[in-house]
Chain A
Amino acid sequence: MNSKQKKISLKVSEWLRSPGPDGDIVLSSRVRLARNLRDIPFPYLASDSQSAAVLKKVRAMVPALAAAYGPLKIFTMDELDSLERQVLVEKHLISPALANNQQHNSAVLLRDDEVISIMVNEEDHLRIQCLLPGLQLERALQLAGDYDDLLEEKLDYAFDEQWGYLTVCPTNVGTGLRASVMMHLPALMLTKQANRILQAIAQVGLAVRGIYGEGSEIKGNLVQISNQITLGQSGEEIVRNLYGVAKQVVEQETQARQILLNEGRDRIADRVNRSLGTLRYARLISSEEAMQLLSDVRLGVDLGLIEEVVGSILKELLLLHRPAYLQYLTGRNLDSFDRDRVRAKLIRLRLAGKHLHEEEE
């Protein structure tokens, strides 16, 4: 793979680089709109020529979208190798379902700054995603809506007065909108309040889950909260509700952080600095361990207990130390032992403000 040019950018996406509003706790805001074309069978039922026709129509929109809102490239899933597809999954730009879908003329339109990605022939014909740093749901809805409007000028959307935007799954019908926030909640986890709060959130019709880890397990203290209901509420209303809940969680986490500082400053300072020490000197580190230690260090930076590390590097590392990214970065196939070695090295270098490839070259 070294010989061949990399199609997918290794650079860190906009949403990972800048903090955004409430960025110490809310790492990102995402909005996704599900849209389908009238009368054409949905991707899982469409014939090859039908899904090819959908792709062709969307591809024809690329110049207009790029002219209106900035440079944009299209990648079909079959022109990317599995590693490249996996990197896009790890960067949260496409879904695993799209990455596994090579036979249905599946593709992604990716804006160069990676704020916008439009999946074609995923579960629905179109899924327009906007991903922004920090708590910016309203803006994400607005930006995704701009692309939606422009696409609708040329594409015949499936829409019904009663059911709204028609989707493959009845759980998405209506607005077709899924809004979510990714939050870093180390203090609520440490003070064992997270469960209580997250359960309360689930009771008001929002879904909560760990970003990594299986089932209800939460790794790296990263949690995603999203809306479940898509019919009977406007997009603005859905986003406003989620914003309100996210703000409350921010407040709870802030309070918990203050309590940690007030009542156990030395203990928490010891913990986060030990974690920093391990990350600086470890030669082998698993994804799971890295996640916990990076979360600790990030908390230390947020609390002002660690000054020599930049917070944004931790956000970047929390999300970009996954297997495909490491392999793509080094241009080599890595077994799990190698991955632990490369991961430790990547973290060591990034904490010192250097890049892995600078060292390799």
Chain B
Amino acid sequence: MLCENCKERQATVHLTKIINNEKYVQHLCEQCAREKGEFDFDFPSFSLQNLLSGLMNLDAQSAGQVMGFTTQKLQCDNCGLTYAQFGQLGRFGCSRCYNAFNERLVPLMRRIHGSTQHLGKIPKRAGGTLKLRRSIEELRQKLQEAVAREEFERAAKLRDQIRELEEQAREGENNEQ
């Protein structure tokens, strides 16, 4: 199949867009797709992005039918993007969209990433006390192990460390308010 745009090169990029419940398929060569801004050069797999809007629409439709409400009502109060628009674009509008669409994100993220919990880096300021709380959790685990092995000296030290971090976390939370 030849590219719809230049009619010269082979069409290797097949874009599916759903606008007002109508499905449009565009066939482009990579170069034209890139020129149209449809193709991010370091986006790893183009087909994944195509799949995305399909997945999200599937969610929107079935959830709407089952629960008896239209998903159009889900809307971000900050940027105005609706869940339906999110489904069409495959993009969030702002950071607060994540709160607005939160109930729909779990199945979506599980399909894309096979996970629903961030485990990587935590930013110093924006992460708030999360880093501290993660450390406390780790120490608690170690404490349990120490107690189970009857390493009481070590357990006492861990308990002190935990108390100290908890104190820091409390201070941090007060500062945030």
Give residues in A with beta carbon < 8 Å to B.
Answer: 30, 32, 36-42, 44-45, 89, 95-97, 100-101, 123, 145, 148-149, 152-153, 156-171, 173-175, 177-178, 180, 206-207, 209, 214-216, 226-235, 237-238
Q: Are A235 and B118 in contact (CB under 8 A)?
A: no
Shortest C-beta distance, B8 to chain A (Å), equals: 11
Given contacts A159-B122, A169-B49, A229-B115, list 6 more A-B pairs with CB under 8 A. A39-B95, A40-B94, A165-B121, A170-B90, A230-B113, A232-B113
Give bound CA distance, A227 to B120, whole Å: 15
Q: Are B42 and A164 in contact (CB under 8 A)?
A: no
Chain A contact surface mostly:
loop
Tell me the number of A-to-B contacts counted with CB atoms below 8 Å.
Answer: 170
**Cβ of B62: which chain A residues have Cβ within 8 Å of it?**
none
B163 interface residue per 8 A CB criterion: no
Closest residue to A227 on the B side, CB-wise? B44
Q: Which of A42, A170, A238 has the most CB of B within 10 A?
A: A170
**Cβ of B31: which chain A residues have Cβ within 8 Å of it?**
214
Q: Are A32 and B42 in contact (CB under 8 A)?
A: yes
Give bound CA distance, A146 to B22, whole Å: 46
Closest residue to B109 on the A side, CB-wise? A231
Closest residue to B106 on the A side, CB-wise? A162
Q: What number of B residues sit within 8 Å (CB to CB) of A?
A: 51
Q: Are B123 and A152 in contact (CB under 8 A)?
A: yes
Q: Are B10 and A215 in contact (CB under 8 A)?
A: yes
B141 interface residue per 8 A CB criterion: no
Closest residue to A231 on the B side, CB-wise? B113
Q: Are A97 and B40 in contact (CB under 8 A)?
A: yes
**Cβ of B41: which chain A residues have Cβ within 8 Å of it?**
89, 95-97
Q: Are A45 and B120 in contact (CB under 8 A)?
A: no
B34 interface residue per 8 A CB criterion: yes
- List the one stretch of B124-132, B144-152, B154-162, B168-176 in contact with chain A: B124-132
Q: Are A45 and B115 in contact (CB under 8 A)?
A: no
Annotate B66-109 by CB proximity to A: 1 below 8 A, 0 otherwise. Answer: 00000000000011010000000011111110100000010011
Give bound CA distance, A226 to B79, whole Å: 32
Q: Are B91 and A42 in contact (CB under 8 A)?
A: yes
Give bound CA distance, A171 to B113, whole Å: 8
Q: Are A157 and B123 in contact (CB under 8 A)?
A: yes
Annotate B43-54 by CB proximity to A: 1 below 8 A, 0 otherwise. Answer: 111001100100
**Cβ of A173: which chain B residues have Cβ within 8 Å of it?**
109, 113, 118
Shortest C-beta distance, B157 to chain A (Å), equals: 27
Closest residue to A32 on the B side, CB-wise? B42
Please tell me which one of the listed residues A38, A145, A167, A232 contacts residue B119 in the complex, with CB atoms under 8 A apart. A232
Q: Are B96 and A233 in contact (CB under 8 A)?
A: no
Please tell me which one of the listed residues B35, B79, B117 contacts residue A100 in the complex, with CB atoms under 8 A apart. B35
